[in-house]
Amino acid sequence: MKWLVALPFFQRLVSFLHFLLCIEASKVKAEVRWEDLYNEGSEYPHIYGELNFDAVVKFVAFEPNVDGGFSLPQELAELQ
């Protein structure tokens, strides 16, 4: 599960609500590409098109820690 992308992109946005979407990849109708856009050695899924709501199986609150960083919510950490 790739969630560390939240750190560099959302760490300073502490006033916003954050959610992780748990998506059933086989239900996504748009094209999904696993890409390493910045050649950093890690690929992340990118959806090219609209995300159909029936592919989303769960919403999980993803609030920053006191220091502004993120920790994977316990209910998802158990899935790894």
The backbone torsions φ and ψ at residue 19, rounded to the nearest 5 degrees and listed phi first, read: -135, 145
* Residue 65 vs residue 79, higher pLDDT: 65
Residue 62's contacts (CB-CB under 8 Å, 6 or more residues apart) are 6, 18, 19, 20, 70, 73
The backbone torsions φ and ψ at residue 58, rounded to the nearest 5 degrees and listed phi first, read: -165, 145
pLDDT at 1: 41
Judge contact between 62 and 20, C-beta under 8 A. Answer: yes
C-alpha 69/C-alpha 67 separation (Å) is 6
For residue range 5-51, list pLDDT tens digits in order: 555 555 555 555 678 888 999 999 999 999 998 888 999 899 999 99
- Could you tell me the domains of the chain? 13-77 (3.20.170.20)
